[in-house]
Structure formats: C-alpha cells, structure tokens
Amino acid sequence: MKRRTFLQQMLGVSGGLLMKGFPLVEARNRERTKFWVWMHPHAGWDTSKIESTFVQLKKWGVGAVLFLVYNGRKAFYESQLLPVESQELERLLPIAQKVGIELHAWLFSLICNVESIQKDHQDWYVVNREGLSILEKQPYVKYYKWLCPSHKEVQTFLLNVVDELTHFKGLAGIHLDYIRYPDVILPKALQKKYGIVQDKEYPQYDYCYCPVCRNAFKAQSGIDPLKLPDPSQNEAWRLYREKSITSLVNRAAEKIGKSGKFASAAVFATPTLARKFVRQNWPEWNLDAVFPMIYHNAYGEPIPWIRTATREGVNALHGKMKLYSGVFVPKLPGADLKKAIAGALSGGADGVSFFPLERIPLDSELSEGNLLNKL
C-alpha cells in the first residue's frame, strides 16, 4: 500500500478534506500543512526509544517536536542552563536530525519555582491588586509563581536563557510558553473546576501592581493604578500590561531571529480571549508562529468552536505569521480528533499541534492508519 501522509491518515481521505460541517481544504494547502507535538522530557527513555518514537511520528507526518527544556522548577540561573537540560538537548538533537524532525526548545518563560530565585529576588515576582506577592499566595495552583515582565532583571534573566539556547547547533527554534500574566479570568469550565465565579476582574486575581509597574505607569499617565476606581475599566492601564508582555516577546524574537532559529509562542485561544484573560496581544508579536491553545473543553465549547477560534486568529494576523492550532488530545477521543483537525484547517490554520505526546499511545503496536483507533 502506498504510504500516506499523517493528514491523510487522520482524515481518511486522499483528494481533500471533506467532512460534514466543514468546507473543502484544497490539496495545495494540505501540502503546506505542518504537524507538531508538545513533548516532555523522559529520563528513562534510552536512545533507541527516542529514535523509535521520532520515527513513528515522522511516519504519521509530524514535522516538529516542541521539547520542554524548562518547566519553572529546574532553573536556568544567571544565564546558565543546568547540565540536565544541556545534556538532554545534546542527546535528542542528533536523533531528531537523523530522523528528519525539527526540535524546538519549549520554555515556561515567566513561571519560576526556583528556591534560590524566590529567596534572593522576591521583588521579581508579580503582586496582585490586594498587595499580595504571588509568592505569598498562588491563584488556582501552587506552581503559579510568576515573574513580572516589567522588571529589567527579569527581562535580562529570560533573554539570557534565550541567548544561550540560540547557541545549540541543530536546534530549530525556541518556543515561549507562559509568556503572559496570571489569568485574571479563567475559561468558564475551569472556573467550575476550581469552584470560583469570575464575572469580572477581582483584585486577588489581578496582576501586576508591584512597585516597578506602579511607578512606570504613573510616570506615563500621572496615575497610580491602585488609585483607579476600577482598574479593569482603564484602557491605558490594560495597554501598559499588554505592551510589557509584547515588548519582552519581541526582544526575545529578535534575538532568536538573528540566530537563524524559528521563534514561536503558545498563546490563549483567540486574540480577544488572550487580551481579556492574560494581557496577551499576540497579533502584535513579531514571531514566526503562534500556537493558540484551542482547548475547547476548558472553555465549555463544542468541537466546531475550534474552527471559529482558529478563524478569529487567522483574520487578526493578516498573514503576519504562521498559526498552528493547538488541540488537547485527551479530550478528543476517536473521530473527535479528526473533527478537531478538520476544524482547525478549515479555519485557516497552517497546521495543528497535539498536546501532549505522552497521551498518544506510542507504546502500542501501531501500523500506519491505526492511530485514531487507539486514541
């Protein structure tokens, strides 16, 4: 049997994408489609296991792997990668090159749970409208310990990490994740999960009001944001925080671009939701690609919403950069994954990224075309 592409296998078609409820995607667009996976480190995987995994991904049509090199806990401190991260990248890069898969370094950019940094640089962390540092009380989950993007020291910290990664020969790109503020409003399904109601911006979830941010905004506007009657209604204060993130992203993107590597970021599902929930104005970012995490289940939306959300992002970008729709594999069993892919591509995405690799049953004896049956 003639070997098929991953997209053809996923959709069960060879001449075009034609599914109930979705328009046709032309063959020329399919040829440009790229598939990605987000992958965590696996210390127990030997070289043969990694190679066999990459070979299987390549057969399915996956062209690139976003490999987690920093999750906020194993720190890069003073611009030096810890040996474990360096060794893991050095181990994976030749395997990826041999198989023909791009390897991109995936960073939790502004989350930092490193004890030495928390002890020595408490002022680096965001402060909410109640005046509490996020080190004192974390919203939602314990690992939510966020650095403030307005701090020059934090900017230097992240840019030094990016700079060091640019020197890894064979590394295709650098992927910025958690490059935002903590969620001032959660998607509605997550509000239900955590037993909270966020019908507006509440002080305990609203960041950042640290001295650096307050003084910088006051210098611009003459107003202390804590003195505003309702900070959530002040356009200038919202824009200040959006621009703080945008500036940091664009500085990192410039550094990555000059090294000849691919600059990308994981972002919230749509431009509207990203600005509202986490102060990301990602259409203004100067990247090669964005990966909106269109996890429909978190928003309490049906699968067709993936197409709607993708289309909003594509329209907002006006061709400025690539857009790869991120989908959450555990909530897309069987044919639902086909529907998600169809929705993303018919919405105009340049491809799809799957999260996480670990939930795709790679240990199963899968022949080509059987992936969906195993999900």
pLDDT single digits (tens) 87-139:
888 999 999 999 999 999 999 999 999 998 999 999 999 999 999 999 999 99
Give yes or no for residue 9 having a pLDDT over 70: no
**pLDDT tier, 308 (very low <50, low <70, confident <90, very high otherwise):** very high
- Find, among 23, 38, 17, the residue nearest to 329 by Cα: 38
Residue 262 Cα distances to 311, 313, 371, angstroms: 23, 20, 29
CB atoms within 10 A of CB 116: 10
Closest by CA to 293, choosing from 198, 183, 370, is 183
Q: What local confidence, expressed as pLDDT, does residue 87 receive?
A: 81
Q: What span, in angstroms and rounded, lies between the C-alpha atoms of 95 and 101?
A: 9
Question: What is the reported pLDDT for 338?
Answer: 87
Cis peptide before 356 (omega within 30 of 0): yes
pLDDT over 80 (residue 11): no
Mean pLDDT calculated for residue range 56-66: 90
Work out the pLDDT band at 351, boundaries 50, 70, 90. Answer: very high
pLDDT at site 372: 35
Delimit the domains of the chain by residue range: 6-113+154-194+243-374
Q: What are phi and psi of 209, to 5 degrees?
A: -120, 35
pLDDT beyond 60 at 225: yes
Written as six digits, the tokens of 23 are 């328009």
* pLDDT for residue 22: 35
Handedness of CA 325, 166, 61, 92 (dihedral sign): negative
pLDDT at 86: 75
Q: Tell me what pLDDT residue 85 has.
A: 72
What's the pLDDT score for residue 83?
59
By the 10 Å C-beta count (0-12 exposed, 13-18 middle, 19+ buried), 86 is classed as middle
Share of the chain above pLDDT 90, in %: 76
8 Å CB contact between 357 and 38: yes
Q: pLDDT band for position 26 (50/70/90)?
A: very low
Coil/strand/helix, residue 254: helix
Question: What would be the CATH architecture of the domain defined by 6-113+154-194+243-374?
Answer: Alpha-Beta Barrel (3.20)
Give the ranges where the chain is alpha helix by DSSP (H).
Answer: 6-11, 27-32, 47-60, 83-99, 115-120, 152-166, 188-194, 211-221, 235-258, 271-278, 305-317, 335-346, 371-374
CA–CA separation, 45 and 35 (whole Å): 23
pLDDT score recorded for residue 77:
60
Q: Give the number of other Cβ atoms within 10 Å of residue 176's Cβ.
A: 28
72 pLDDT band (50/70/90 cuts)? confident
Q: Would you state the pLDDT for residue 59?
A: 84
User: What is the average pLDDT score of the chain?
Assistant: 87
> Do 158 and 117 meet the contact criterion of CB atoms below 8 Å apart?
no
Whole-angstrom Cα distance, residue 9 to residue 30?
12
pLDDT at 187: 95
Asked if residue 1 has pLDDT above 60, the reply is: no
Instruction: Name the pLDDT band for 51 (thresholds 50, 70, 90).
Output: very high
* pLDDT band per the 50, 70, 90 thresholds, residue 75: low
Q: How confident is the model at residue 79 (pLDDT cuts 50, 70, 90)?
A: low
At 4, the pLDDT band (50, 70, 90 cuts) reads very low
**Confidence band, pLDDT 50/70/90 cuts, at residue 362:** low
What torsion do the CA atoms of 125, 130, 136, 138 make, to the nearest 10 degrees?
-80
- pLDDT at residue 364 tops 80: no
- pLDDT value for 55: 93
* Residue type at 28 in one-letter notation: R
Tell me which residue of 240, 93, 265, 90 sits closest to 162, measured CA to CA: 265
| pTM (2 d.p.) | 0.90
Q: Provide CB contacts within 8 A for 90, sequence distance 6+.
A: 168
| For the chain, percent of residues with pLDDT exceeding 70 | 85
What one-character DSSP code corresponds to residue 244?
H
Closest of 138, 81, 142, 146 to residue 108, by C-alpha = 146
Residues 245/178, Cβ–Cβ less than 8 Å? no
